[in-house]
């Protein structure tokens, strides 16, 4: 569907989606399958090959903490299972590739409004839309179980996630094309999807996000060593300042990064000066890859903190048709721009020593909800919102009229079958994740993989 520009009637586009559902019924699409001869521990071990080896035990230690943590760090494992699912709907577009429930959050628009959207695109590719929804619903069940919620509430939350996705697509399909394009997923957009139990949590996280600026980062992670001279404060292994020889290639790469920005933003960026560079461990799946924070000095005591993060090939790529070679930082940026309602104006890419990197603002008014901390009655609201946000992201590159035709209209038997199908898949894959997590724990216990916990 990417690049399709021909006009067609809404009725024809919906009918195409309905016909695709006849060809690939929901029951077939959501039947849980796993890759033949799968070995999740071997997949995890293989993915450690090009990481900083001293940091690998931290990654494994984080993954063994719970099945939900395992799911977060094992996109490659699930990608193999999703690819084993057989024929899909044939509807492809830009997908997140790692759309689990912890990869949604708040951040600032260029107008400094707080919006909620998908916020991690390391695995982004052009691929089947259902891979994202399957990963999201499975993660909802896994997070609910970790939170200690009853099994029926976990499953109902996954169903509500699919309902939110389907309902949002139906609304987008009926909107004018430009209105649908301009729509941003802020609080006013999301509240009519039913978030009563999350209002207090949303407000708390949004208030915190507004304070989460580069200035706040500088206050927290740096110290003044002399007048107008600030440096990152060492906090190994999480934050490790670099010596000049190590920092120079990072600083030098910013020229290449600036070339990827729009001209007016490039001019703005040129008014800053680099003050310090450090290596900082981030995330879970990214632990062990090179990730730097760069402190820049602006107007007066203004600080800007950039993240320069190594960009690896998507874990989903081996299971999809080959595409022309592309800088992986550029791949991430383009996927993010396609899917987010608004994006960081300083989003770009560069290379250091021939290795691709993504560049973006670090913690620019960002906030997130940990789904494993949600109480009864909250997880279903959160899951529904995530489904809505994901639908809006997919609708940028897959026509929502066709996709809505496949998913089924609200208050119909087809729609209910869609929701229940994804809920059934979610529960089954959460079971599979628990078994995979147990295998990883056993491998660590047996000394096959190193693990450092509590970091």
Sign for the CA dihedral angle at 443, 449, 450, 451 comes to: negative
Distance from C-alpha of 286 to C-alpha of 302, rounded to nearest angstrom? 29
Distance from C-alpha of 410 to C-alpha of 93, rounded to nearest angstrom? 23
Q: Could you read off the pLDDT tens digit of each residue along the chain, which spans 455 residues?
A: 565 567 899 999 999 999 999 999 999 999 999 988 999 999 999 999 889 999 999 999 999 999 999 999 999 999 999 999 877 999 999 999 999 999 998 887 777 778 889 999 999 999 999 999 999 999 999 999 999 999 999 999 999 999 999 999 999 999 999 988 888 776 666 666 666 666 777 677 777 777 777 778 778 888 877 666 789 999 999 999 999 999 999 999 999 999 999 999 999 999 999 999 999 998 888 998 999 999 999 998 888 999 999 999 999 999 999 999 899 999 999 999 999 988 899 999 999 999 999 999 997 778 888 999 999 889 999 999 999 999 999 999 999 999 999 999 888 999 999 999 999 999 999 999 999 999 999 999 999 999 999 88
Distance from C-alpha of 359 to C-alpha of 239, rounded to nearest angstrom? 18
In the sheet with 104-108, reading across from the earlier edge strand, the strands are 114-118, 104-108, 367-368
8 A C-beta contact, residue 151 and residue 142: no
8 A C-beta contact, residue 295 and residue 218: yes
CB atoms within 10 A of CB 177: 11
8 A C-beta contact, residue 218 and residue 302: no
Q: By C-alpha distance, which of 430, 438, 436 is closest to 141? A: 430
Sorted by where each begins, the domain ranges of the chain are: 10-33+49-211+366-445, 214-361
């Amino acid at each position: 569907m990417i690049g399709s520009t021909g006009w067609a009637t809404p009725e024809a586009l919906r009918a195409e989606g309905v016909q695709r559902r006849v060809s690939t019924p929901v029951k077939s699409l959501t039947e849980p399958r796993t890759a033949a001869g799968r070995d999740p521990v071997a997949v995890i071990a293989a993915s450690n090959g090009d990481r900083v080896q001293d940091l690998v035990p931290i990654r494994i230690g984080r993954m063994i903490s719970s099945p939900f943590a395992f799911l977060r760090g094992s996109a490659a494992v699930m990608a193999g299972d999703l690819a084993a699912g057989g024929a899909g709907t044939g509807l492809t577009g830009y997908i997140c590739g790692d759309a689990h429930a912890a990869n949604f959050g708040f951040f600032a628009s260029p107008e400094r409004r707080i919006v909620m959207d998908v916020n991690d695109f390391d695995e982004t590719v052009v691929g089947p839309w259902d891979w994202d929804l399957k990963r999201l619903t499975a993660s909802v069940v896994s997070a609910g179980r970790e939170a200690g919620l009853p099994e029926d509430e976990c499953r109902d939350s996954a169903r509500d996630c699919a309902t939110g996705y389907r309902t949002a697509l139906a609304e987008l399909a009926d909107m004018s094309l430009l209105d649908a394009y301009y729509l941003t997923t802020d609080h006013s957009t999301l509240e009519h999807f039913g978030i009563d139990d999350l209002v207090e949590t949303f407000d708390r996280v949004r208030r915190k996000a507004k304070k989460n600026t580069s200035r706040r980062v500088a206050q927290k992670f740096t110290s003044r060593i002399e007048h107008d001279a600030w440096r990152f404060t060492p906090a190994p292994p999480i934050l490790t300042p670099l010596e000049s020889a190590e920092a120079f290639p990072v600083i030098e790469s910013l020229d290449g990064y600036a070339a990827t920005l729009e001209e007016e933003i490039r001019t703005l960026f040129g008014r800053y000066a680099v003050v310090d560079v450090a290596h900082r461990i981030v995330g879970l799946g990214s632990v062990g890859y090179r990730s730097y924070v760069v402190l820049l000095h602006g107007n007066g005591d203004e600080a800007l903190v950039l993240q320069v993060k190594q960009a690896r090939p998507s874990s989903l790529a081996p299971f999809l048709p080959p595409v022309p070679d592309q800088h992986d930082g550029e791949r991430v940026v383009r996927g993010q721009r396609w899917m987010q309602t608004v994006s960081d104006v300083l989003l770009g890419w560069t290379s250091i020593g021939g290795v691709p990197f993504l560049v973006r603002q670090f913690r620019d008014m960002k906030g997130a909800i940990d789904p494993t901390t949600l109480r009864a009655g909250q997880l279903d609201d959160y899951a529904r919102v995530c489904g809505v946000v994901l639908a809006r992201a997919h609708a940028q590159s897959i026509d929502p009229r066709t996709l809505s035709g496949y998913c089924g209209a609200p208050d119909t038997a087809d729609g209910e079958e869609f929701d229940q199908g994804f809920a059934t898949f979610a529960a089954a894959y959460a079971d599979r994740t628990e078994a995979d997590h147990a295998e990883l724990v056993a491998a660590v216990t047996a000394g096959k993989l190193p693990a450092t916990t509590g970091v």
